[in-house]
Amino acid sequence: MFLWRGRMNFTVTKNPRMIKISAVIITYNEEKSISRCIDSAREVADEVVVLDCYSEDATKEICLSKGVRFYENEFLGFAKQKNEVINFASYDYILSLDADEYLSEELIKSILEIKESWTNEAYRMNRLSLYGSRWIRHGNWYPDRKVRLWDRRMGLWGGENPHEKVILKKGVKIHQLKGDILHRAYLNSADTLSKIQNYSEIFARENVNRRSSSVPKIIFRATFSFFKSYVLKRGFLDGFEGLMVAMGVSNHVFYKYAKLYEVNRQSAIGKRLVISRTDNLGDVILSLPLLGFLKSIIPDIEIYFIGKKYTQPIISQCVFVDQFLDREDILKDPDLLARLNPDTIIFIYPDLPLAKIARKLKIRNRVATAHRWYNWLYCNRLVDFSRFHSNLHESQLNFKLLKPFKLNGDIDKNELIPFYGIQPSKKDYSSLISKERFNLIIHPKSKGSAREWSLDSYLKLVNLLPADSFKIFVTGVKEEGEAIRREKPELLDNDNVTDLTGKFNLEELTSFISQVDGLLACSTGVLHLASALGIYALGLYAPMKPIHPGRWMPIGSKAGFLALKKECNDCKLTKDCACIKAITAEEVKKTIDLFSKEKLVSL
């Protein structure tokens, strides 16, 4: 807080019994109007106090040149800011003006008269507003009576932002003064619309979950406000400007209740959210951008993630997850979920046992797809969409489940990239990783979750990649390594291949992937992990719904895929896929060479 004192140059009171008035004003970038406001207040006040919010124009310099008592602080909200400036006043009798207001000659005369004989605790006056070049004397804008002169011991500012008012103690008498506060309200339609958006935004923010709104209420209030201002209060007598004022009033009412409706729906998700995704690793990773998005728009939301135990290392390394919950633990002890007192649970993956528990615990919002019969029994926020028939990516489809809260359900794949939030643990693998070569992980197996490129193709690729440019690692769980050794031992015995199958747990694998340059795999969780970690990730896909790349491609800043440009369902009932076999080792090498060159350029 800073105090500035300029020269004091106020009118001297001759009557020793006359009360003394402090004129108080709050400002922010008011260089166009503050001078007239101060000069006007000086006609009746014994001091002028200005509280500024660090204006970026000449407001401060003008105020200091006028000799006011000048203070600065951060904006606290309209009512709080106006009460704050009153705290700096020397006298109990307060005249409060906005920076774009000044006193009419008649009002100045009225205030000077009551200074001689103060008989009431508060005084009210009309406010006459200017639209463009016309003073508006009809409609909702006039007489617009305001209490602006009062004994601060009898009341302070209150009400709701941005339409604050002086709240007086019970029984305080209010006297009406002659004359007007002159208010330069709006310059033109552009100024009107700008202020409407600002004030309606404040109204919605201040009243979220405190006041209700609905579509009928929005329509009725907006329509009636126009009728009231333009017809009942004879706004039409003010010509074109009267029409603009009536439309402005109607628009303001429309937007403040429309925005309130939106934020009320959005806030219905609550502050404690449970995400349930109890299937596999890749599915879990592609769910994480939903969490990051929610944290970006509701920073104080707490997110709990229910998953399989084996996915915990990934979920726990996501900065957007506040706590991991093991599905099996909850099935054994539902109180683990009850103690969190969640507002909402979203079933990204349908789960009948957990849905039963959620209903029994009376979780307020239980969100799920409408395409499972049991969700109609146990969930109360059903969303009608099909994953199987959709052309959207799996990660984009997750956003459909935000529809009950009017949150963004249409998000581009590229917008998802910053929202993974995986921060791997730091482990030292410098003894394995080459500084001179491109470090490439090959992850051949998928536990049967995808159409797999043949081990013969992987071996051919390894032989095509020059050892002086590439260092190759093969990863997978122990069982996958054993299968590779049975089916194609030459792949693991290659001089340029380091066999890491069965060597890492999931946390260690995540750390290792984050330190290499690239990864090659079919559509599997490790591929999505690599793309989420921001390394080069190349996926090999079959062009068959629902496992096609449009649904399951890796999403990342350095991610890509290879697939035949066709639609095919020939191998729907078999794992022997002609389309993925048709991807040649030479094509894959060509793409990986591009990755390697990009790395060299970046170095």
Task: Give per-residue pLDDT as tens, 66-105.
Answer: 999 999 999 998 899 999 999 999 999 999 999 999 999 9
272-419: CATH topology is: Rossmann fold (3.40.50)
DSSP string, 336-399: HHHTT--SEEEESS--HHHHHHHHHTT-SEEEEETTSTTHHHH-SEEE---STT--S-HHHHHG
Instruction: Report the percentage of the chain scoring pLDDT > 70.
Output: 95
141 Rama class: left (phi>0) / alpha (psi -120 to 50) / beta: alpha
**Res. 12: pLDDT tops 70:** no
Distances (CA, A) of 494 to 461, 488, 490, 552: 12, 11, 6, 31
To the question of domain 438-602 being in CATH 3.40.50.2000, the answer is yes
Half-sphere exposure of 182 (CA within 13 A, CB side): 15
Element (H, E) at 124: strand 122-131
pLDDT at 508: 96
Average pLDDT over residues 335-346: 97
How far is residue 285's CA from residue 295's CA, in Å, rounded to a whole number?
16
Q: Name the token pair of 487.
A: 């089916």
Confidence of residue 384 (pLDDT cuts 50, 70, 90): very high
Beta pairing partners, 276? 306, 347
CA-based nearest residue to 284, from 299, 301, 302, 305:
305
What tens digit of pLDDT does each residue of 294-326 get? Answer: 999 899 999 999 999 999 999 999 999 999 999
Confidence of residue 574 (pLDDT cuts 50, 70, 90): low
Strand-by-strand arrangement of the 559-562 sheet: 497-499, 470-474, 438-443, 518-522, 536-540, 559-562
Query: In sequence order, what are the residues at sequence separation of 6 or more whose Cβ sits closer than 8 angstroms to the Cβ of residue 321?
Result: 291, 303, 304, 305, 315, 421
**Res. 3: pLDDT tops 60:** no
Confidence of residue 289 (pLDDT cuts 50, 70, 90): very high
Average pLDDT over residues 550-565: 91
CA-based nearest residue to 444, from 434, 454, 436:
454
Start and end residues for every CATH 3.40.50.2000 domain found in the chain:
272-419, 438-602
pLDDT at 210: 85
In the DSSP assignment, the letter for residue 400 is G
pLDDT at 106: 96
Q: Are 399 and 409 in contact (CB under 8 A)?
A: yes
In the DSSP assignment, the letter for residue 48 is E
**Res. 347: pLDDT tops 60:** yes
Start and end residues for every CATH 3.90.550.10 domain found in the chain:
2-186
**Burial class (CB within 10 angstroms; exposed 0-12, middle 13-18, buried 19+) of 438:** buried
Confidence of residue 451 (pLDDT cuts 50, 70, 90): confident
In total, the chain counts a number of residues equal to 603
Average pLDDT over residues 409-423: 90
Q: Are 603 and 596 in contact (CB under 8 A)?
A: no
What tens digit of pLDDT does each residue of 529-548 get? Answer: 999 999 999 999 988 787 88
Confidence of residue 13 (pLDDT cuts 50, 70, 90): very low
Strand-by-strand arrangement of the 302-307 sheet: 323-326, 302-307, 272-276, 344-347, 365-369, 381-383
What tens digit of pLDDT does each residue of 149-188 get? Answer: 999 999 999 987 777 899 999 989 999 999 999 999 888 8
Element (H, E) at 498: strand 497-499
**Res. 10: pLDDT tops 60:** no
pLDDT at 570: 66
Higher-pLDDT residue of 602 and 587 is 587
2-186: CATH topology is: Spore Coat Polysaccharide Biosynthesis Protein SpsA; Chain A (3.90.550)
What tens digit of pLDDT does each residue of 194-253 get? Answer: 989 988 998 888 888 888 899 999 999 999 999 999 999 999 999 999 999 999 999 999
pLDDT at 578: 77
**Res. 31: pLDDT tops 60:** yes
Q: Name the token pair of 268.
A: 């219905």
Query: In sequence order, what are the residues at sequence separation of 6 or more whose Cβ sits closer than 8 angstroms to the Cβ of residue 16?
Result: none
